[in-house]
Structure 1
């Protein structure tokens, strides 16, 4: 029986009671979210099936390439619709989770933009998601404040806060705590729908939104999907067409070959493209998983000015400036080290070098993960970019062939690199299972992409029998058995460090099991956060 789009949507069923839900999950808001799910849910399912089919073709040897049937779009002379004045200058953007205190600190950081991240920097427990949406409502009302019960320190949003951009969860994710017709709703539509319902009109009235970051798109069909969601949502909410502006994260390998097409599909609603470099590395490994020619070295060797990463960054700038939109650089994840001025200066020097590379390439802005890095990055862009952006600086002289977007980095796979991947993946995932999505590890602010790169590299090295340079100067092939030994040793070390009564001690074995199963699976799992989400909900 065909779906009747005119029939009223089935009412959502909320499975879990959490603080703040009465302000977020109002009857009218849930009706709007249910309309989005009813209208777009089947389309979204079809797009996820298309992802699977594309991966199957790549597994069989059909490598990514520019699409022949969209040549006219790539070669055409056209530009996206203009962006509002509030988005002209985005030279430094700070990103972070939707935790109340962190939101206030980010809004007060001095950055031009704050990206409120419901995705990789937020562990998606239902409590975290609902409190994040409630925080957006308080931001709308000017009541976003926080008092630390331990120190008594009060936090309040200052008079000139950063511009708010919201990143909903990816299209592949579900919100398991809300059902419609017995099925979980789309996490992307849940986050987008509720944030727009509660804040969209108010942000539009001031010209400060509603603005979004769209994560993990894999092609122009998914961009078209979001464009249709925007059109429907604006009409339903009484917001003028084109008011919603989105910046698309180019953080998947297929999307790198369809940048022009993605901009074309979103041309009335797009503000820019962003280099999501860590997820992009993960996607490179995942998409080329069956091909030994694309095995990558240690993560430390994957620098942005070489091989496929350099080409990808150049193409983002070239496409964006040709189409009249912002090219946003990648994340600088370094964080200050308390009481260690030498370590701080070394970290800041790396950030300066990274931002000098980006502004020199023509990027219009960049990301940082900590308020202390805002003035460091801003100084670099202020010195080299006197205007609000560099959109008028073309980069058409760069000729980018498909093979250049696939060229692997060269370097060693070392035992230290293997151990680091094991350590970081387990530590991050254990913290994620405790409800933390942005985790300081080895003086870096890490998010879910860290765990994805780490476990994907481990899988790739086992799958292709990679030779590992051991600490004794020998070479040894990484195997599932050896990895199991390393994981066991890491768990023993962690438990010794945190002690018998360590807070959430039990999360580490769960994290280690998830990492080991993902790294030794016969087929590389699409996302490690999928099985981890089931565990998170069970533990919550």
Structure 2
């Protein structure tokens, strides 16, 4: 196995440090052992979606009732993950790595997934940056100010939890002898684990992971088998790995206990997000009728009844099984030029984190270092000196199957401004992604691929359902094209012809319309986008 399709002038510096013969042998072993099962599970996703299309329903699995009724707990949490009250998320570029590690957060979600466009440069440099951090070789100089940044003392640094790519996305730059690409999930996990597991143990920590876009307990079982194999291969004690699973698909919400059970020797918690979860609802119920039509994405908060059912069930499930419950993202980027708007936005963040802490969550996410103190204050007020609140079992929570998909409990309806915002955000995000940037500041929010997914999915759903917007206009392909054309003209006027032409705005516009207006719904925007990604 060797890297393919990388032009010599695009070969990342220090690539040979990452792709040693021993590392490639390990990736080859992972690939040959587990990719066939990955392929089977992706096919199961398709079959399950067909069943949802037929029934417009989901339920807790009768065949796993014995797991939900059983008396078991996940493995004891390692000391480095006991206190997770604030977690900061972001890609693995050098600047972000230093800022995240120094942020004062307890955990840094080092993201190879939604916050990172998977150029080969990003894949390799991300691996190097994490190892450099553990070797205390990580620093950077701000190109504008010339200011130098270095790591704080080790005891002040956030604990790293790496997030590999989801099962669906292959890594085109690594192929076996038959030309089959290695799953990106195995590349990201495999390189990080192989390079750093022993080093992390020497530092008193371990190889910790976030697992994205899991759709079933069978997929969690696959990850667990990967962990067992990897630990044996590298001579690492079984149970060293710890994994937190993002419950960001609607199908996984019905299998939280089963997912923890499959990973019980390696599980450390579950996380409740928003955009990917809503994206999954739209994806699975996109043609199931008016009662599943979501309003504007910004109108669907965590306090919506079906979102409350999901978030409270997650806390109860985690604490029943001894796992951490981690809350959702505060994506606001502080804006010092508008103190009034800044204060109002920070108050919303504070209220959101207060709600999570009082609901029983053990920690939560932020996207910017300035939000770390806000989130920490909310959890400090509830936790005090305790590292978590797993003793809060939330036995008052009683969620039925229908509660999780009661989308029609919302009074809000789709609006023209919601449609325009979906177009604006979609184009802006895709353009940055095509240039190799996966974490993008848009309208004072830090956005990642999940934002683009929910935006384009809502356009598809509204047009397919023939939704009538608040202006009286019907959501149609023609309306979406007109709004997108207006947005492209506005961007050209804002940026100027030279900057507009230098960017990838037309390609982003075309790709958004392709996935939003296609008769055949595309499962992941990043699949056709990856074909257009340079490098």
Using structure 1 for the length normalisation, give the TM-score.
0.95
1:503 Cα deviation after fit = 6.1
After superposition, the C-alpha distances for 1:475-498 in whole angstroms (9 at most, x for unaligned) are: 121111111111111111111111
User: 1:4 is matched with which residue?
Assistant: none
- Cα shift readout 1:290-321 (whole Å, capped 9, x = no counterpart): 11120011112101111211111011101000
Specify the alignment match of 1:319 in structure 2. Answer: 317
Q: How does 1:279-428 map to 2 (within 5 A)?
A: 279-292=276-289, 293-386=291-384, 387-408=386-407, 409-428=410-429
* Bigger mean CA offset, 192-201 vs 498-507: 498-507
Q: Is the 8 A contact 1:425 1:454 kept in 2?
A: yes
Give 1:13 deviation, angstroms. Answer: 3.9
1:525 aligned partner: 522
Pair 1:206-2:196 in alignment: no
Partner of residue 3, structure 1: none
Deviation track 1:107-166 (CA, whole Å, cap 9, x = no partner) reads 000000111000000111111111101111211211111123442211111102101110
Would you say 1:275 and 2:269 are equivalent positions? Answer: no
Q: Give me the TM-score of the superposition, normalised by structure 2.
A: 0.96
Name the CA distance, whole Å, in 1 between partners of 2:114 and 2:240: 26
**Which SS does the other structure have where 2:499 is aligned?**
coil
- Give the CA deviation at 1:324: 0.3
Q: What RMSD in Å do the two structures reach over aligned CA positions?
A: 1.1
Task: Report the CA distance between 1:371 and its aligned residue.
Answer: 0.2
1:379-528, aligned counterparts within 5 Å? 379-386=377-384, 387-408=386-407, 409-470=410-471, 475-502=472-499, 505-528=502-525
1:61 aligns with 2:61: no
Provide the rounded CA distance (Å) in 2 between the counterparts of 1:437 and 1:219: 26
2:41 to 37, 40, 47: 47
| Stretch of structure 1 that moved more, 523-532 or 216-225 | 523-532
Trace 1:179-218 onto structure 2 (pairs within 5 A). 179-180=175-176, 181-218=178-215
Displacement, 1:504? 5.9
Q: How far has the Cα of 1:62 moved from its partner?
A: 5.1
Shift of 1:385: 1.3
Shift of the alpha carbon at 1:25? 1.0
Whether contact under 8 Å (1:122, 1:437) holds in the other structure is yes
> Take 1:19 and 1:502, find their aligned partners in 2: how far apart are those partners?
28
Contiguous gaps of at least 5 residues in structure 1:
1-10
Unaligned runs of 5+ in 2: none
2:175 is paired with a residue of what secondary structure?
strand
Q: Flag the 1:414–1:62 CA change in 2: closer, same or farther, 3 A.
A: closer
Q: Does 1:168 align with 2:164?
A: yes
Offset of residue 206 of structure 1: 2.6
Q: Which residue of 2 aligns with 1:7?
A: none
Residue of structure 1 equivalent to 2:71: 77
Q: Is 1:258 matched up with 2:255? A: yes
CA distance in 2, matches of 1:58, 1:20: 47
Aligned to 2:5: 15
* CA distance in 2 between partners of 1:304 and 1:286 (Å): 19
The aligned residue for residue 154 of structure 1 is 148
Deviations 1:76-123 (A, max 9, x none): 121111111111100000000111011100000000011100000011
Query: C-alpha separation between the residues in 1 aligned to 2:227 and 2:204?
Result: 17
Contact 1:495–1:505 (CA under 8 A) maintained in structure 2: no
Is the CA contact 2:140–2:150 (under 8 Å) kept in the aligned structure 1?
A: yes
The DSSP-based 3-state class of the residue aligned with 1:247 is strand
